[in-house]
Amino acid sequence: MTINDRILPELRQAYSQFPGFRLDENLEWSRRLLAQSPLEESELVLTTNRTIPRGDGGEMLVKIYEPVKRSHDKLPAMLWIHGGGFVMGHPDMDDLLCERFVQTANCVVVSVDYRLAPEHPYPAAIEDCYAGLVWMTAEAPLLGIDVKRVAIAGASGGGGLTAALALMARDKGGPSIIFQMPLYPMLDNRNTTPSSYEITENHATWNRTNNITAWNMYLGEKKNDNELSPYAVPSRADNLVGLPPMYTCVGQLDLFRDETINYVTQLAQAGVDVEFHLYPGCFHCFEVFVPEAEVSQRASQNYLDAMARALHP
């Protein structure tokens, strides 16, 4: 039975019609595949663009989402990190999702426009994400947020950066994070798990060739270093004690399935509370590619509700 045969019927057409990223052949063309057409903003969410200091002392864009009607009470906050395998993507592509987090979890969302590889290899992206977290908590009075209720979240490559950011914040002694949500995260550059060999079709939403290419672009000259930092490759962390509770999910037909399961297992063994969902018949980013499907609506609602529970204990 092929991967195509195992995909849920409601997801199959989108999977077969996707042209597939071609990172090794045409990175700019691949980046355009992720470009988001402007969406009509929700009347219930106010979106503001700001420029803040980034990791290298330069400046970067952040997008701030908050309820239009909010009281003077401080709201919890979530730092969002977009996906794209460390080499593609922009905060604009997650406008609708960030608005849904605001409405479901009654929170302020800050989405960071971190630098992309290969132009800016590791550690640029994680340094920018950490700078965004520091800025968000330092500007708590301006943003009207409660620094005792701060979460971090991201998907795919952004999920890998979320896991790395949780490690970095713990090791640096802050800012304090009460919850992490790395969705179907990109955690391991070794590509040795069974699932990393299963997804090879050119039209897959993320296949083995693209994963190897993206990791090489991200790690740059460090890609052959056996002493890679867990801030670059979270799966290499040898100490997961003291990390914030985590929610994650992954499709069973996702290249990242096994590295996600391995990380969840290690977190649980380290005493970190984890909620984990595995979706049979689902490929990488299935709820993004086919948002109207029942399984997609269920999956996205599950993680939106998990964030709401975490931020309003």
Give me the active site residues, please.
156, 254, 284
- Alpha-carbon distance of 94 to 209, in angstroms, equals 25
- Alpha-carbon distance of 48 to 243, in angstroms, equals 31
Angle in degrees, CA 34, 129, 145, rounded to 5:
105
Best CA proximity match to 304, nearest among 205, 159, 214, 181:
181
Residues in the chain: 313
Best CA proximity match to 234, nearest among 277, 190, 193:
190
Q: How many CA atoms lie within 13 A of 223 on its CB side?
A: 16
Angle in degrees, CA 224, 209, 165, rounded to 5:
60
What secondary structure does DSSP assign to 145-185, as a single string?
A: EEEEEEEEEEETHHHHHHHHHHHHHHHHT-S--SEEEEES-
CB 110 within 8 A of CB 77: yes
